[in-house]
Structure 1
Amino acid sequence: MTLTERLGAIAPQSWLRVSIGVAVLTIALKTLAWWVSNSVGLLSDAMESLVNLASAAFALLMVRVAQQPPDAEHPYGHHKAEYFSSAFEGLAIIVAALAIIAAAVQRFFHPQGLDQLGWGLGLSVLSSAFNGVLAWAMLQSARVHRSMALEGDARHLITDVWTSAGVVIGIALVAATHWLWLDPLVAVGVALNILREGWDLVWRSSQGLMDKRVERSVQAEIDRVLKSFEHPKIRFDHITTRRSGRRRFLDMHMHMPANWTLRRAAEARGAVEQALMSAVPGLRASIQLLPSDVEAHSEDAEDLP
């Protein structure tokens, strides 16, 4: 078993619990780094870690909701709950970035000296190492589980690592040049990077909630399976796909000779459905049978221009 497979074998909830624990640890380390150094750059780093903690806790809640089985009110399940987690992370990142900018602007007008930079930088680097290792492991698991919540939390941690790297470089420059204005300038640069990442998460979540089609790689796999069933008497059309959290849905028409028995037609459809769902894990295929000489319109009148 490869390392990726081993990491993928760990449930998303377990990774998010680890993320919460690491967030608490990094908050302590980065807050101590800010306390001993009096750097607004390190303060901005500590504030983002607070967002990490809130985001991981909310992601854990949404993953639990997403795993609930279908019910009378939600016959297709609760998989889209993970998109709410990702959107929340994005909004939380944006709020944190604005708070960092506010603190940096205040420091521009009231510059203060920095103390014990060695300790401050050391603690920041240590916390970043924890976040970097955890983010890498979570991304591997997110690809296996197709978990938007897990991926969102991992990418947030990666942003935190880049943030810390920028802060460390900026503060090192302050120590070398004694230009105090570099400290708030680095904080603003960090905040702008965080804003970009936050907006990206919000945008991707909105696309998921709007029933976006499946990924190109998944569509290619679907096309490959359907091509393997090509036959002069069988054809497929009105192929529509969508994503919903970890699930992928496929609706299409399957045309075959009108004189085929119901059993033969049902067996042919069953073979196609089984092949599709075996090729694409998590896929739910719905195939409508139609005679070869019958065409059906799948568009709703309200959807037509």
Structure 2
Amino acid sequence: MKVARYLQWSVVAALATIALKTAAWGLTGSVGLLSDAMESFVNLAAAVFALAMVTVAHAPADDEHPFGHGKAEYFSSGFEGLLILGAALAIIWAALQRLMAPQPLEALGLGVALSVLSSAINGGVAWMLLRAAREHDSIALEADGRHLMTDVWTSIGVAGGVLLVPLTGWWWLDPLLAMAVALNITREAWGLLRRSIDGLMDRALGESEQAVIQRVLAELASEEVRFDHLRTRRAARHKFCEFHMHAPGRWSLSLAAARRAEVERALTEAVPGLKVTIELLPQSVEPVGLHEAARGA
């Protein structure tokens, strides 16, 4: 499973950066670098949970889950968002303690060098994850990649700020940087939580994908065949659409089924990964039932 293999690399990167950033904090005593190290622990927990959820998401459909397990990926990004929020609160608490009792920093050169090395590792893995997320349409990979990229910019900002502390003599700058890190990752956490909630609430496909579906149906429509009541939804990498196809009542069942198969094939070719459900109806029939009740709810 390719998606899982990418997340395994994320776990390895998290372990490496934890070691480097913890060493940087131990050498310098910087609470800013401590906050950076704490975020790497979040990266590790998030990557492990994402790996577990992606494994569940790729399990085949069964009797209890006939539409598959794709939504498990949304739990991964939501869990990562909650972890980030927890880390932000811990960072702010540590920063407040240091702000009330500032301390000089030591061995900044080696400590910052270790932090920069960890940023390079995270940057490479984040680039790989975001590229794979686009290729496999995986929110779990995207969430982990975006979090790692946020960590990269955070580490760069912290390293630069920490180097300014001995130059300026502003020892309060170190805890202030830690608070800035906390606020930055809180913003990332909110974005992940919002996307997870949207996915679990059966959000419709994006505007561009809906436009492609509408264009294909418009091209296939004719005086004899029309389409209506289109609905779409996404479940992680899975995409669904359903609609009514109205055909002449005089058509044989085999002809109507063949035309419906053509429509389904055209849509799946235009939108890769799309799962299509078409309800075949006579031209004059406008059903009042489950679909209309759902639209009016």
TM-score (norm 1): 0.95
**Residue from 215, 218, 223 that aligns with 1:224:** 215
Q: Are residues 1:205 and 2:196 paired?
A: yes
Instruction: Quote the residue 2:163 is aligned against.
Output: 172
* 1:205-255: CA deviation from partner (whole Å, max 9, x where unpaired): 000000000011211221221122121111100000000111011110001
Q: Give the aligned residue type for 2:33.
A: L
Task: Select which of 236, 245, 256 maps to 2:227.
Answer: 236
- Map 1:52-201 onto structure 2 (within 5 A): 52-201=43-192
Task: From the superposition, tell whether residues 25 and 302 of structure 1 become closer, same or farther in structure 2 (CA, over 3 Å).
Answer: closer
| Distance in structure 2 (CA, Å) of the matches to 1:139 and 1:222 | 26
SS of the aligned residue for 1:130 comes to: helix
Cα offset, 1:60, TM superposition: 0.3
Indicate the residue corresponding to 1:4 in structure 2.
none
* Alignment pair present for 1:21 and 2:12: yes
- Taking the aligned partners of 1:233 and 1:41, their CA distance within structure 2 comes to 69
**3-state DSSP of counterpart to 1:76:** coil
Separation in 2 of the partners of 1:300 and 1:267?
27
Scaled by the length of structure 2, the TM-score of the pair is 0.97
Task: Find the counterpart in structure 2 of residue 304 from structure 1.
Answer: 296
1:200 aligned partner, one-letter code: G
Corresponding residue for residue 275 of structure 1: 266
Match of 1:255 in 2: 246
SS of match in other structure, 2:246: strand
Cα deviation, 1:7-39, whole Å, max 9, x if unaligned, reads xxx811111101100100000000000011110
Which residue of structure 2 aligns with residue 5 of structure 1? Answer: none
Residues 1:135 and 1:302: Cα distance change in structure 2 (over 3 Å): closer
Moved over 2 A (4+): 297-305
Q: CA offset at residue 296 of structure 1?
A: 1.8
- Correspondence for 2:205: 214
Alpha-carbon separation, structure 2, partners of 1:107 and 1:69:
51
CA distance in 1, matches of 2:190, 2:6: 24
Q: CA deviation at 1:303?
A: 6.3
Q: Distance in 2 between matches of 1:99 and 1:166?
A: 19
| Cα separation, 2, equivalents of 1:284 and 1:22 | 35
Identity %: 56
The CA distance in 1 between the partners of 2:128 and 2:55, in whole Å, is 20
Unmatched runs of 5 consecutive residues or more in structure 2: none
- What SS class does the counterpart of residue 288 from structure 1 fall into? strand
Deviation at 1:304? Answer: 3.5
Matched residue count = 296
Whole-Å Cα distance in 2 between the matches of residues 189 and 16 of structure 1? 28
The alpha-carbon deviation at position 302 of structure 1 amounts to 7.0
Q: Secondary structure at the match of 1:289?
A: strand
In structure 1, the gaps of 5 or more residues are: 1-9
For 2:172 and 2:146, locate their aligned partners in 1 and report how far apart those are by CA, in whole Å: 30
Q: CA deviation at 1:299?
A: 3.7
* d(CA) in 1 for partners of 2:19, 2:84: 19
**1:304 is matched by which residue type in structure 2?**
G
What is the deviation of 1:301? 4.0
Q: What letter corresponds to residue 113 of structure 2 in structure 1?
A: G
Deviation at 1:279, TM superposition (A): 1.5
Shift of 1:69: 0.5
User: Aligned equivalents of 2:237 and 2:2: distance in 1?
Assistant: 13
Once structures 1 and 2 are overlaid, which stretch shifts more, 98-107 or 172-181?
Answer: 172-181
SS of equivalent to 2:94: helix
CA deviations on 1:152-189 (whole Å, 9 max, x unpaired) are 11111011111101201211221220100000000001
